[in-house]
């Protein structure tokens, strides 16, 4: 069996961090088993679906490095849905219902007033052919419900939640099609998973009851269901569901200087018993991905933690990986010198300006003689060797200074800053002439 997963967003908006996590986990599971990861655009809602969102979904997955092995669109599969619908209707598993939304709301209120669950009472099943004809003659168009089998429990072994059991009698027959003929989520998704030979569905725990309903749909169609993994939803760093999580997506991460490797590293591990590690290599993430490591507690997403992971990722990236984002003229030596001081790639430009100049410095008058002495020594050094060590050793002997009194005035004069990259690596990049000029 070829493992095949799918990521099935609706193109009604931009992907947010929760969507990204779902896509990543589907991709990791497929890759771990040498399988396929498919993108399915769930665009049955013609009014709200937009092509620009389809394009942004593809672009976001590409930026994250989640390569897809195939793509499908629900809007191209309506004939398939119609055929399955007709089969289910002929088998008595789909039936028309004529209640208006107001009537359904009233039924729910009455049930609540009696302390009963808001279940649909299947009144539509009691209608005769004459009743239905009369309603349609009055212009009432039916919506359509899937008829649940109340005679047996719904059970499955969830890859994260373990054994699951639902009593169909406690669930309403789900509406699968609106009165205008448009489709709701439930049935087309089940049809597609069957027809696309999806073997595993990874999604949030808010879909657990949907899975119970869809398992009966798979059975009614005579199709083997995929295995399901329902993971705990993301919460904010404060430990509760946050509206902000719905606004955090690839655009935000890119604007914040976050690398895709950092997003992958964090989202692959939060919610599991494994530590978050700054893994650049996706093979390592794939090898360690295991649903048995996931817990039931909400997974906390913290932007500060993402930023910390990003810093550790940046410190591992080689110059070839970042060359197109570095200032013109900045090469491997410069990158390796400044990389340990970066939290984002774009900060390299600030250090390039320190190397190239001009810089602005504030000098303590008490250091004037010392820096003049340093300039004189710098002019005599062999700059093809290791100038920083030679400069500081000679200055220590000549001035009697050591420690902070020796090093800090030199750093300030040479870079204009109190801190920064190792001067042993930085000074040769500043070069002889610029160094002498700055010391002078």
Identify the weakest region by mean pLDDT among 29-38, 89-98, 116-125, 258-267.
116-125
* The pLDDT value given to residue 363: 86
* The pLDDT value given to residue 246: 83
* pTM for this prediction: 0.92
* The pLDDT value given to residue 320: 96
User: Please, which pLDDT band fits residue 247 given cuts at 50, 70 and 90?
Assistant: confident
* Cα–Cα distance for residue pair 176/198, rounded to 1 Å: 21
pLDDT in tens, 377-415: 999 999 999 999 999 999 999 999 999 999 999 999 999
User: Please, which pLDDT band fits residue 1 given cuts at 50, 70 and 90?
Assistant: confident
Question: Angle between the 387-399 and 403-415 helix axes, to the nearest 10 degrees?
Answer: 130
Decide: residue 5, CB within 10 A, 0-12 exposed, 13-18 middle, 19+ buried: buried
* The pLDDT value given to residue 382: 94
Tokens of residue 436, six digits: 């002498």
* The pLDDT value given to residue 362: 85
* The pLDDT value given to residue 373: 96
Asked if pLDDT for residue 159 goes beyond 90, the answer is yes
Cα pseudo-dihedral 262, 267, 269, 275, rounded to 10: 40
Spatial neighbors of 171 by CB under 8 A, at least 6 apart, are 119, 148, 209, 212, 213
- The whole-chain average pLDDT of the chain stands at 95
Phi–psi pair at 12, nearest 5 degrees: -110, 5
* Longest CA–CA separation in the chain, Å: 110
pLDDT in tens, 300-328: 999 999 999 999 999 999 999 999 999 99
Asked if pLDDT for residue 129 goes beyond 80, the answer is yes
* The pLDDT value given to residue 139: 94
Asked if pLDDT for residue 371 goes beyond 90, the answer is yes
Relative to beta strand 234-235, strand 154-158 is unpaired
Asked if pLDDT for residue 10 goes beyond 80, the answer is yes
* The pLDDT value given to residue 175: 97
* Cα–Cα distance for residue pair 153/184, rounded to 1 Å: 24
**Mean pLDDT, residues 323-334 taken together:** 96
**Closest Cα to residue 358, out of 275, 252, 433?**
433
**Mean pLDDT, residues 156-163 taken together:** 97
User: Please, which pLDDT band fits residue 262 given cuts at 50, 70 and 90?
Assistant: very high
Gyration radius of the chain over CA positions:
32
Domain ranges for the chain: 319-356, 365-439
Asked if pLDDT for residue 241 goes beyond 90, the answer is no
Asked if pLDDT for residue 238 goes beyond 80, the answer is no
**Angle (CA) 59 64 66, round 5°:** 85
Query: 424 among the known binding-site residues?
Result: no
Asked if pLDDT for residue 341 goes beyond 90, the answer is yes
DSSP state of 40: E
* The pLDDT value given to residue 243: 74
Relative to beta strand 162-166, strand 175-177 is unpaired
**Mean pLDDT, residues 283-307 taken together:** 94
* The pLDDT value given to residue 237: 78
């Amino acid at each position: 069996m070829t493992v095949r997963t799918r990521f099935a967003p609706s193109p009604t908006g931009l992907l947010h961090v929760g969507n990204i996590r779902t896509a990543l986990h589907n991709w990791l599971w497929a890759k771990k088993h040498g399988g396929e990861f498919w993108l399915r655009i769930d665009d049955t809602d013609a009014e709200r679906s937009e092509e620009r969102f389809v394009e942004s979904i593809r672009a976001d997955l590409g930026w994250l490095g989640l390569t897809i092995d195939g793509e499908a669109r629900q809007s191209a599969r309506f004939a398939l849905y119609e055929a399955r619908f007709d089969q289910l209707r002929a088998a008595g598993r789909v039936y028309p219902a004529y209640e208006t939304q107001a009537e359904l709301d009233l039924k729910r209120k009455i049930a609540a007033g009696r302390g009963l669950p808001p279940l649909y009472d299947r009144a539509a099943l009691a209608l005769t052919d004459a009743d239905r004809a009369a309603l349609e003659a009055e212009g009432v168009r039916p919506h359509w419900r899937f008829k649940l089998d109340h005679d047996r429990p719904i059970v499955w072994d969830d890859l994260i939640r373990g054994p699951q059991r639902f009593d169909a009698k406690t669930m309403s027959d789900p509406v699968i099609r609106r009165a205008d003929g448009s489709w709701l989520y439930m049935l087309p998704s089940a049809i597609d998973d069957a027809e696309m030979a999806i073997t595993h569905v990874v999604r949030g725990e808010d879909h657990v009851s949907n899975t119970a309903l869809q398992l009966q749909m798979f059975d009614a169609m005579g199709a083997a269901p995929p295995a399901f993994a329902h993971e705990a939803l993301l919460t904010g760093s404060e430990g509760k569901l946050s509206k902000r999580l719905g606004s955090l997506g690839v655009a935000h991460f890119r604007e914040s200087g976050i690398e895709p490797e950092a997003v992958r590293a964090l989202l692959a591990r939060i919610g599991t018993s494994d530590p978050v590690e700054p893994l650049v290599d996706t093979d390592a993430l794939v090898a360690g991905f295991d649903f048995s490591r996931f817990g039931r507690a909400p997974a906390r997403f913290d932007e500060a933690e993402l930023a910390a992971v990003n810093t550790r990722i940046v410190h591992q990236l080689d110059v070839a990986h970042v060359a197109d984002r570095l200032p013109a003229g900045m090469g491997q030596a410069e990158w390796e010198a400044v990389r340990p001081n970066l939290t984002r790639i774009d900060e390299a430009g600030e250090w390039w300006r320190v190397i190239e100049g001009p810089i602005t410095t504030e000098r303590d008058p008490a250091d004037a003689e010392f820096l003049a002495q340093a300039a004189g020594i710098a002019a005599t050094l062999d700059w093809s060797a290791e100038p920083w060590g030679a400069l500081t050793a000679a200055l220590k002997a000549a001035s009697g200074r050591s420690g902070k009194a020796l090093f800090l005035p030199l750093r300030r004069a040479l870079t204009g800053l109190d801190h920064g990259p190792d001067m042993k690596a930085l000074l040769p990049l500043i070069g002889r002439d610029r160094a002498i000029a700055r010391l002078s």
